[in-house]
Structure 1
Amino acid sequence: NMNALHRVLLAAALSILAYDGKFTFGIINGKKADENDLKFVVSVQNASKHKCGGLLIDRKFVLTAAHCFGDMSVVIGTHNIIVFFHKKQFKLDEKVDRRYYEKTQIAWQFLEVPENSRCRVAGWGETETNKNPVSNLMVTDVSIVNSATCKKSWGKMGTKLPPGVICAGGSEKSGVCEGDSGGPLLCGDVVVGIVSFNFDKNCHYPNAPNVYTNISFYRHWISVVGKKCI
């Protein structure tokens, strides 16, 4: 009962990739995730070091952000990526044991999350600007920001947001920081987005809203790529 983890699906648009040098990606004012929660969240590794988050969307594919691409491996099935590192690290195309996989609810149909909805974001990123990533998965609550409000906030900083994004947090004292890219944004039990970017390596909130890739915006592309790789 083993399946191959064929490749990583890269679900951020090229327009978002263009921002890579200016923006950053960690959980601020969060708490340690419950051991039995968020089992589908994985650590995307580069040279045996945590680089980004990701989510196991079925037994063959990990979804993460495009700027996380590189010589990747993933750590699956643990919230502590240091203690259990050697037992649960997989190179792409290696087989993943069934017990590491937990079915994930993904927003495949277009889903507009109401403004001010309280959602959760999780990751192993920095907990302060210019600090090291953490060993335990952290989670925090963030509020959904109206699209027009978000575009206006980023517009004041000279940035036009690409299509297919969701905004959350930033105006409160919690959000994401470097190392959280690719991790999930959950509203209820449904994953609606993945961490994309923040502004100018500044994790001292309040700040501009955090920007997430809207998974439902790329549902057709994900489906097409998935079928080609099976």
Structure 2
Amino acid sequence: MYIIGAAMMHIAALTISILIHGSAIINGDLAPEDSMQFMVSVQSKKGHVCGGFLIEEDFVVTAAHCNLELTHVILGGHNWKNPSAKKIEIINQCKHHYKETMSGHDIMLLKVSISPKGNNIKTIPLAEMNMNLKENQLCSVAGWGKTKNRGHSVDALRMVNVTIIDQTTCKKSWPKLPNNVICAGGFKTKKGFCQGDSGGPLVCSGRAVGIVSFNKEENCKYPDVPNVYTDIRGYVKWIKDITSKKTCLM
């Protein structure tokens, strides 16, 4: 668990969840097998740590705060324990001046040892720097993390739709909101991500726009604050420089 400042914000690995009104059930929908084939389970020797997503044949994007003795990624299936899923070694980790989540730059590129192959493995295009997001625009987020506050991470990928929240509203909830972030889901909607899968993508109009970063403490019911994502649009040039040169840049 990570605790940050007086707000006591939990920023451990995160995932999506949805609260069904009038019930104690909190979970998302299983992702169809032919969807989100860019999703990656980022792992240590102990197992699943964070979500991530494949953007080039040998590069995965995840959150910088997921740097917890990472060793490999698993992709090629919505159940990361499936024997047919591919396990590939991580050989380099690239961060963008990251110090802590509330200081921003919660983004990390993972260089993997080989290019994964398979009909069920695809890359996702990144948002362009000038891509416009509108308030209440419908997007989606997915992950393998908890489906309830005190539950465990799951093996099968789940997903949920969330809507974009304007920055003015978000800053009222998060007065120290870092630059280059997007707020979506959580606030007054009863749906969003939960502890278990940080690093997964916020997908809008078929492009990766954000990276799951943080929410409030261990609350997966989101009664009062938006979920916060790193805004990929602010890092497109940095990402392209690294993926083209195949090496980390300071």
Larger mean CA deviation between 55-64 and 21-30 belongs to: 21-30
- Paired-residue identity, %: 42
1:27 and 2:49 aligned: no
Please name the residue that 1:81 is paired with: 80
Cα distance in 2 between the residues matched to 1:46 and 1:110: 35
8 Å CA contact 1:58–1:101 kept in 2: the answer is: no
Please name the residue that 1:59 is paired with: 57
Q: 1:212 offset after TM fit, Å? A: 0.4
1:145 and 2:165 aligned: yes
Q: 1:154 offset after TM fit, Å? A: 1.6
8 Å CA contact 1:44–1:54 kept in 2: the answer is: yes
SS of the residue 2:78 aligns to: coil
SS of the residue 2:124 aligns to: coil
The equivalent position to 1:208 in structure 2, one of 219, 225, 235, is 225
1:131 and 2:114 aligned: no
The equivalent position to 2:180 in structure 1, one of 164, 167, 171, is 164
Say what the alpha-carbon RMSD is for the aligned residues. 2.0
Q: 1:19 offset after TM fit, Å? A: 4.5
Please name the residue that 1:121 is paired with: 141
SS of the residue 2:193 aligns to: coil
8 Å CA contact 1:78–1:84 kept in 2: the answer is: no
SS of the residue 1:98 aligns to: coil
Structure 1 portions without partners, runs of 5+:
1-16
Cα distance in 2 between the residues matched to 1:112 and 1:206: 27
Task: Give matches, 1:76-115, under 5 Å.
Answer: 76-84=75-83, 87-93=85-91, 94-99=113-118, 101-115=121-135
Amino acid at match of 2:115: V
CA distance 1:229–1:19, change in 2 (3 Å): farther
Q: TM-score, normalised by structure 2?
A: 0.78
8 Å CA contact 1:119–1:186 kept in 2: the answer is: yes
Deviations 1:112-164 (A, max 9, x none): 31000111001011111121001000000111000111011122xxxx01100
8 Å CA contact 2:162–2:184 kept in 1: the answer is: yes
Deviations 1:64-123 (A, max 9, x none): 0001113321001110012237x5111114323322541312103232310001110010
Please name the residue that 2:42 is paired with: 44
Please name the residue that 1:154 is paired with: 174
8 Å CA contact 2:37–2:123 kept in 1: the answer is: no
Deviations 1:6-31 (A, max 9, x none): xxxxxxxxxxx995973233211210
Q: 1:177 offset after TM fit, Å? A: 0.8
8 Å CA contact 1:59–1:101 kept in 2: the answer is: no
Deviations 1:159-193 (A, max 9, x none): x0110000001121111011220001111211111
Flag the structure with higher helix content: 1
8 Å CA contact 2:10–2:214 kept in 1: the answer is: yes
CA distance 1:199–1:18, change in 2 (3 Å): closer
SS of the residue 2:239 aligns to: helix
Task: Give matches, 1:4-15, under 5 Å.
Answer: none
